[in-house]
Amino acid sequence: MFKKRFINQLINSFFDLSPILAVVSIFQVLIIRQSIPDVSHFIIGILFVLVGLTLFIQGLELSLFPLGESMAYAFARKGSLFWLLAFAFCLGFSAAIAEPALIDLGAQAAELATRKAQIAQSIEAKNNYVLGFRIIVAISIGFAILIGVLRIIRGWPAYYPVFCAYICIALMTPFAPKDILAIAYDSGCIATSTLTVPLVTALGVGLATAIKGRNPMTDGFGLVVFASLTPIISVMLYGIVL
Amino acid sequence: MTDWFMQFLIRLSGTARDFLPIFVVLIGFQLFVIRKPLNNAGKTFAGFIYVLLGVAIFLEGLDMALFPIGKLMASQLTTPEFLGINTLDKTINWQTYTWVYVFAGSLGFAIALAEPSLLAIATKAEQISGGTIRAWGLRIAVGIGLGIGLALGTFRIVTGTELYFYIISGFTIATLQTLFTPKSILSIAFDSGSVTTTMVTVPLVTALGVGLAQAIPGRNPLSDGFGLLALASLYPIIAVLSYAQIAQWLNKRSLSSRP
């Protein structure tokens, strides 16, 4: 039974990936008119992507989704608001702090800051800057998940925090240094990573199902979008203050 | 072969290190705060291993196939020979790069469909909504949004216009749409729009942006290459909100046409 599920999922993954193959081959053949160099390498790579995607989806359904939901139920039954909020914060923080793409972005931000002579020209100063950048982004993600969970418990509509964040960003943009702007905007989407999205979704949906009077469809979602907006605000602040 | 295997092991341990904090938080809270043993501990553990292996193999495949080809195509599309222009000619206008926008747009559409996180959230949304929202519909809407976002983003890099103009107008459109979108689908729409930018999109789009900023005269890769991602996570929200409005409208129509 397990084998059959794996093969089914593999076929699904192939359909999921087919648009990429179509775009690449159409452009190569019709517009650029050059053959793909190293075709065998390309095909092996695509097979890897297929198998990887299949395993990832299986793993999600086997462990992360059920675990996230069962933990949400357990917290709801336990009834301790403090621990639930602590869990929400830690989940967001831990997901963001180790994100490799965020580390790269922080290094680029440090590069910009040295060029403008905001920080000293030493490796130590740069590393400190990157560490500060990562911690600030991770804190704002943790904070966003915390607010999101609080929102589900209190039953506030999902779009309130999102709008507040939009307005904050729009108001702060004119005051933020111009070259940190693009990095700030990008930081938000980078830090909500591969594992955070399914886990946070499972947590939100689980909580909204477990708490009476909440609807998983309207209340359970909306955590991820807020978590991708708060880092923008905090990185802009980081740029203004430093 | 052994070389390759070592390289894969290094990647696997890197992925494990990235995921370690999350696993620690999950297990720590389960054992010390909830204080219940995991039900199905074996299954959960197997699932962790699957996720780890899956992500490592997936990234390996991306490095082998999609990233090189994406970068190669971006550079092929911006060579003077392909564009048929003279680099010394200062009167290059934005229309010269039309194929770049088309490429970025179709690439955006395609990568959205391959994004694992989007797949996860779309499946969840279909389950929760009881089929009102279709996973495929959501993913195609996100794909269209990502395509538009990337096409606009490359246009911005070519023309050198200000990023915040595109961001703030995107926010404004999304805010206005919220007023007209059925509240029941609103939060799903926001979430599935914003999950686009993870495993596949981030590296590929960053490479595209930096590559373009290098290839186009007068652009600085350090400052002009960024900002594509922000557009890549904003415009799908607008696209999915539109999809929600259309789905609602179709639903209503099919309900009222039924006797």
ipTM of the complex: 0.82
CA-nearest residue to B184 within chain A is A218
Of A21-25, A70-74, B140-144, which range is least confident? A21-25
**Given an 8 Å threshold on Cβ–Cβ distance, is B58 in contact with A57?**
no
**B18-47: average pLDDT:** 84
Touching check for B104 and chain A: CB below 8 Å? Answer: no
CA-nearest residue to A79 within chain B is B34
**Given an 8 Å threshold on Cβ–Cβ distance, is B226 in contact with A186?**
yes
Touching check for B175 and chain A: CB below 8 Å? Answer: yes
pLDDT at A146: 94
**Which of A116-125, A188-197, B138-147, B212-221: highest mean pLDDT?**
B138-147
pLDDT in tens, A197-227: 888 888 888 888 888 888 888 888 888 888 8
For chains A and B, count residue pairs whose Cβ atoms are closer than 8 Å: 315
> In whole angstroms, how large is the CA radius of gyration of chain A?
21
B251 pLDDT exceeds 60? yes
What span, in angstroms and rounded, lies between the C-alpha atoms of B12 and B27?
A: 21
Q: Which of B33, B60, B233 sits opposite A189 (nearest CB)?
A: B233
Q: Which of residues 62-101 of B touch A (CB under 8 A)?
A: 62-66, 69, 72-73, 76-77, 82, 99
pLDDT in tens, B82-95: 666 655 555 566 67
Residue type, B108: G
pTM (two decimals): 0.84
Name chain A contacts of B61, Cβ cutoff 8 Å. 45-52
**Domain parsing of chain A, residue ranges:** 1-63, 79-241
What span, in angstroms and rounded, lies between the C-alpha atoms of B188 and B176?
A: 17
Contacts of B20 (CB under 8 A, 6+ apart): A98
Using pLDDT thresholds of 50, 70 and 90, give the confidence band for residue B190.
confident
CA-nearest residue to A222 within chain B is B187
Name chain B contacts of A166, Cβ cutoff 8 Å. 171, 174-175
pLDDT in tens, A21-50: 888 788 777 777 776 677 788 888 889 888
DSSP class per residue in chain B = -HHHHHHHHHHHHHHHHHHHHHHHHHHHIIIIII--PPTTHHHHHHHHHHHHHHHHHHHHHIIIIIHHHHHHHHHHHHSHHHHT--TT-S---GGGGHHHHHHHHHHHHHHHHH-HHHHHHHHHHHHHTTTSS-HHHHHHHHHHHHHHHHHHHHHHHHHT--HHHHHHHHHHHHHHHHHHS-HHHHHHHHHHHHTTSSTTHHHHHHHHHHHHHHHSTT--HHHHSTTHHHHHHHHHHHHHHHHHHHHHHHHHHHHHH--
Whole-Å CA distances, A40 to A46, B64, B111: 10, 10, 21
**Which of A13-17, B78-82, B152-156: highest mean pLDDT?**
B152-156
**Nearest CA to B61 among A97, A105, A199, A13?**
A13
What span, in angstroms and rounded, lies between the C-alpha atoms of A153 and A156?
A: 8
Name chain B contacts of A60, Cβ cutoff 8 Å. 47, 51, 120
**Domain parsing of chain B, residue ranges:** 1-78, 85-259
